[in-house]
Structure 1
């Protein structure tokens, strides 16, 4: 809005110069940039050599600057790879194949799920939260928030496995619930996690099955823990603690088979992810659910997002510190959102 539209009697222009400049000094750099494009008074009051000013920022501050601009622009998202704004592409949705072809700089900003046909990049989350707040591009918002399901016949008949993902915005937070099911729909008794299978379950970057059989998955993680123990000179107790943390899913499944019909709940210690495991009373179906809290609007490199992204170059022991959050709170938030219809 220009000054002529605001009117010469606008309160902001009646302030004394000292107070006027004092207010401007409290503004973030991206706010000053946006303000400088509204009218001559603000353009002169907030004058910067913007190219030089932005180039002097640290990487995190540069990303924050572009994220601040994108906050008010419904058609753009901030890219942490090239530190620029990219325009919206409404054909880019979580179930899109070959997404990198749709991103100008081919940035891979997904959660790194390699075994599912569904993946949510950080800019999808930011778009969903922003469009929900602004009430813009509602058709694209619906496509971003559309539930996804995939059911297929296992390579080991008669087993079937399925995957489902459902995102929701609850209390201005982006929550994703994932569900994996393995079923034996015949009267034949078969192990649901056969050692010669190919089923993978990437619950989060820190937890999941690395191979179908529970024993082989535990063995592979035992080898990983032993290598990390040697590399980082851990004590035996530290190695044991690490191994127990790495195998929460395997232990949870084993416990659920001992008490079929009951839900077994746990949480990841390194990202805001809650887990639920259930084995049917006839032991012919296993359900694993994960509730992820990807946080509120913010920078693409915020911790709330980055802890959910797998980094193949990092050893397991260096994948971030323990998260300080109330375990079970993400699942509770989801249930509260379901009960009150929050979308």
Structure 2
């Protein structure tokens, strides 16, 4: 292709994409490397996008949004046994909370490595074992005492999570069974479904409701017949309009069962819109952008992936 045409194409690209373009061949690099570029610097977000593209075919590195560099991959680093580098900073969405600990998202690097392994294919037994650990189901059962008044009784919390990649998207299904003691009284805790929505249940009335977290207003760009009113019932279904999360909660008179389907997105940088919505990043232009999806689409994608797996495996 003539150099003049390459320059025209590059003129329509953002700087991060132009730098990625220079990696295609020597001719392109020479054509696009000129003194005027020396004064054009990538900002933090753009550099993360650039790094993500540069190592897109390498499973031995991952992009860190704390130091704006890449780090080596360790197969011992999994959601259950995270090996954080020295530059790591504790994220707000990872604060330990006994009511939502099972709903803590995996780290961005774990999501990206799983997607990359599946796209490129594990190159050896170590990578296959690492992929298996990244997607391994989790189970947690714990008894939580109602401190500082333990006389009210303890609460049983059973949680499970199942990760699945469907059409290049990392999906998670969380299930939570919350069982309070028969004689428990007082305000029931709020079960967090995502960074925007939660489920509250009313023991006396045997009803559930979906509410907003931190008083943020409802984004009603994605509507359902019940989206404009706060309702209470023994079963609720909801799709969060601010992130790709669907939830279902049911109160059977003795316990609450909540299922949450979350879409963590495709391969991308730590500042991709899908990821920023899920972690509750409220910086300008990030997670407050309305999601363009159908009601219940995450749940539908997850269940379609399950059906496909069963079809591939065949009858046992």
TM-score, normalised to structure 1, is 0.67
- Aligned residue for 1:332, secondary structure, equals helix
What displacement does 1:274 show? 0.5
* Structure 2 residue aligned with 1:205: 195
Counterparts in 2 of 1:158 and 1:110: CA distance versus 1, 3 Å:
closer
Distance 2:204 2:52 in 1: 42
Conserved 8 A contact 1:129-1:174: yes
Task: After superposing the two structures, state which structure 1 stretch, 77-86 or 327-336, moved more.
Answer: 77-86
2:174 aligned residue: 178
Cα distance 1:301–1:211, how it changes in 2: closer, same or farther (>3 A)?
farther
Q: How does 1:1-343 map to 2 (within 5 A)?
A: 28-35=17-24, 44=30, 47=33, 52=38, 56-96=41-81, 99=82, 102-108=84-90, 111-112=93-94, 114-115=96-97, 116=101, 118-136=104-122, 137-155=127-145, 157=153, 159-183=155-179, 189-191=182-184, 194-195=185-186, 199=189, 201-208=191-198, 225=215, 254-256=232-234, 263-280=235-252, 283-310=253-280, 320-341=288-309
Q: Offset of 1:210 from its aligned partner?
A: 8.6
| Residue 150 (structure 2) aligns with | none
Please list every run of 5 or more consecutive structure 1 residues that lacks an aligned counterpart in the other structure. Answer: 1-14, 229-237, 242-247, 257-262
Contact kept in structure 1, 2:196 and 2:212, CA below 8 Å: no
For structure 2, list consecutive stretches of 5 or more residues without a partner in the other structure: 147-152, 221-226
Bigger fraction of residues in strand: 2
* 1:26 shift after superposition: 8.2
For residues 135-170 of structure 1, give each alpha carbon's deviation from its aligned partner in whole angstroms, at most 9, with x where no partner exists.
122211111111111001232546411121111101
Residue-pair matches, total: 282
Higher helix share: 1
RMSD (Å) for aligned C-alpha atoms: 4.2
For the residue of structure 1 that corresponds to 2:279, the secondary structure is: coil
TM-score, with length taken from structure 2: 0.72
Q: Tell me the CA shift for residue 90 of structure 1.
A: 2.1
